[in-house]
Amino acid sequence: MAMEFSEKASCQKYFTKAHDLVRRSVKEFVDGEILPYIDDWEEAGEFPRDLYRKAAEVDILGIGYPESLGGTPGDTFFKIAASEELMRSGSGGLVAGLGSLDIALPPIVRHGTDEQKERFVKPVLAGERIAALAVTEPGGGSDVASLKTEAIRDGDHYVVNGSKTFITSGCRADQITCAVRTGGEGAHGISFLVIEADTPGYSVSDKLKKTGWWASDTAEIFFDDCRVPVENRIGAENQGFYLIMENFQSERQFLCVMANMTAQLAYEAARQYAKDREAFGKPLSAFQVTRHKLVDMATQVEVSREFTYRIAAKIDAGMDQIKEISMAKNFACSVSDRVTWEAVQIFGGYGYMRGYIVERLFRDNRLLSIGGGTTEIMKEIISKFIL
Ligand SMILES: Cc1cc2nc3c(=O)[nH]c(=O)nc-3n(C[C@H](O)[C@H](O)[C@H](O)COP(=O)(O)OP(=O)(O)OC[C@H]3O[C@@H](n4cnc5c(N)ncnc54)[C@H](O)[C@@H]3O)c2cc1C
């Protein structure tokens, strides 16, 4: 395994021709089906539901999933290539909304029964149903082991009461992969249930109004005596905490890619603007201070991207990268924080105006160091490895 990795790393060949083909087809999809409409979708606070089906038709939703479930298996660099191209829509919200299945389905694919995969994975990968992940509660997101939504066993059902919040795609989700308390206090009393939105007692708030990620709908979800069949439980009872932690690893890798691309797009826009915009009779790029800013931005983005790729290759090779992925998330977010800040600065007043890409990137970026585990929680994880 390690041998395989070092071979891969030494030639730096993360992407092959096959990955490039996927990249090209996702680019075509973004150019044709997203870019012409994205500004309107951002303002509307959601994209058309039909986009899931369209993305499924060109095999985007199923990248990395087993063929038997309608997916196209492949290493993690297929997913990275696709995510990078989707991010070229310039809308973190669109990517998060379309990609909510990638945080909702993996626990079912890894730990579900064949029957559960047939019911809850296949229709989502076909773009027929929307899936979301529901872990965070109004009372707290970082302290997952203390979650309170209770699921009390009653014959062959669980009776679920409580609420979840900040759920991406939560307004329109047909099913949520939901963390609930089935046992006593702490990490050992948690299970994952797939709860369908048409279950009596299940209700959803209006779209939550956000700083960024406008094109994704974000909801609070309420459970009032929701009766959920025991057969909807993913994995063993009270083992859900481990499934949640496992799931966080791929989510954090995806957030690294989002942060790197947010920074990349902001850098590219600022570089072009610095060449086009003049002040004091010369282009902004003629000022050394601007050139050096762009150099720093380019350097930081490249280093962060390489670190993300390297860790992704190691994960693919079966290596444990919990510490490293936490480091990569914090590093990528610190880069995207700095780069989006400087990009707005280089754009001057226009950078603060709606309709300019750097303005949206700046807003969308703010979430990245909060979602999927905050910067502080990443540091807590890293500290356990190094101390
Ligand atoms: C737009 C958006 C989309 C989201 N999508 C989803 C989704 O699809 N599904 C889902 O389940 N959740 C989702 N979330 C929730 C997200 O994962 C949580 O917001 C995040 O985990 C933080 O939880 P919290 O907001 O409750 O903050 P809290 O846990 O209350 O933390 C507040 C502050 O305290 C700090 N803090 C907490 N504990 C410690 C500690 N031990 N040491 C040091 N500092 C600490 C945190 O770092 C943070 O700065 C989303 C959030 C947003 C904003």
When pLDDT is averaged across residues 289-311 and rounded to a whole number, the result is 98
**Residue of 58, 130, 135, 60 whose CA lies nearest to 100:** 130
Q: What is the pLDDT of residue 1?
A: 40
251 in active site:
yes
Ligand 1 atom 48, closest CA: 374
The pTM is what?
0.96
Q: Which atom of ligand 1 is nearest to the CA of 374?
A: 47
Among 7-11, 83-87, 142-146, 204-208, name the one with the lowest average pLDDT. Answer: 7-11
Whether residue 200 has pLDDT greater than 60: yes
Q: What is the pLDDT of residue 5?
A: 47
Whether residue 11 has pLDDT greater than 70: no
Residues 6+ apart with CB under 8 A from 256: 304, 308, 311, 325, 328, 329, 332
When pLDDT is averaged across residues 183-199 and rounded to a whole number, the result is 98
Ligand 1 atom 11, closest CA: 135
When pLDDT is averaged across residues 19-48 and rounded to a whole number, the result is 97
Q: Are 346 and 244 in contact (CB under 8 A)?
A: no
d(CA 210, CA 170): 14
d(CA 336, CA 94): 18
Quote the strand ranges of 37-111, DSSP E: none
Strand partners, 202: 223
Catalytic-role residue among 42, 85, 251, 359? 251
Each residue's pLDDT tens digit, 312-359: 999 999 999 999 999 999 999 999 999 999 999 999 999 999 999 999
Q: How confident is the model at residue 12 (pLDDT cuts 50, 70, 90)?
A: low
Q: What is the pLDDT of residue 264?
A: 98
Ligand 1 atom 2, closest CA: 166
Distance 43 CA to ligand 1 centre (A): 25
Whether residue 6 has pLDDT greater than 80: no
Ligand 1 pocket test target in 374, 375, 379, 383 with most atoms within 8 Å of CB = 374
Q: What is the pLDDT of residue 9?
A: 47
Q: What is the pLDDT of residue 3?
A: 42
For residue 32, the Cα-to-chain-centroid distance in whole angstroms is: 23
Burial class (CB in 10 A: 0-12, 13-18, 19+), 104: buried
Q: Are 148 and 181 in contact (CB under 8 A)?
A: yes
Strand partners, 189: none
Distance 161 CA to ligand 1 centre (A): 21
Distance 374 CA to ligand 1 centre (A): 6
Token reading at 37? 């409409």
